[in-house]
Amino acid sequence: MSWYGLGIFCAIYIVAVATPGPGVAAVIARSLARGWRGAPAFIAGFLVGDLVWFVFAATGLAALAQTAYALFVVLKYVGAAYLLYLAYRLWTSPAQPLDATAPASDQPATQLFLGSLMLTLANPKTMVFFLALLPTVVKLETLSLMAFAEITVAITVLLPLVLGAYVLMAARARRFFRTARTVRALNRGTGVAMASAAVLVATRS
């Protein structure tokens, strides 16, 4: 794969990842409420989900993805339910002043990973990019093993960088929430954002 072609893919992929959607909303909302801890596992779920969709597109399994539509519908609603669960936890969590130097995480890494993985597999934006837009950027019918590896590395590097930037900005914003009143507003605001992301996931086809 030429450097020009790889560069075009990277540019378009960065825009696709950074574009606000259910995944970005979930990352920002969770980072505002919980800080850094748990972010690597949460981002890893998004990364594996994107790699799964890339493999579907690159190996000609898009048709299989279409025949397995019922499975992806189930994943969509499971992902939406997970976001609603996070929204409920945020809305009902105790309003205690935040310690910006010691963010809390009350969920196991495995749970965070599986939740974001299901959200990615069911996210219409991700499906559209890899099954519809990717073939217009990369000639999948002539994709070599080396090009496949190059794109895999690009996804593995770029997605954590982009989502990590969102985590950094949101985690730094936590320092402004040092009273119980502002924390309660933060928790409920991010809970609403999480619930809105759940609605987007569940209603988009």
pLDDT tens-digit profile, the chain (205 residues): 778 778 888 888 888 888 767 778 788 777 877 777 788 999 999 999 999 888 887 876 555 555 555 665 665 676 667 667 767 776 776 655 544 444 444 568 888 898 888 888 877 677 777 776 677 677 766 778 888 899 999 999 999 999 999 898 887 777 665 556 666 776 677 677 667 766 766 775 5
State the DSSP H helix or E strand holding residue 56, giving kind and residue range, or none if neither: helix 39-58
**Close Cβ partners of 159 (under 8 Å, ≥ 6 residues apart):** 17, 43, 46, 47, 50
Q: Where are the domains of the chain?
A: 3-203
Cα four-point dihedral sign 184, 189, 193, 199? positive
| Rounded Cα–Cα distance for residues 48 and 40 (Å) | 12
| Rounded Cα–Cα distance for residues 100 and 173 (Å) | 9
| Rounded Cα–Cα distance for residues 20 and 68 (Å) | 27
Considering the entire predicted model, what is its pTM? 0.68
Amino acid letter for position 116: S
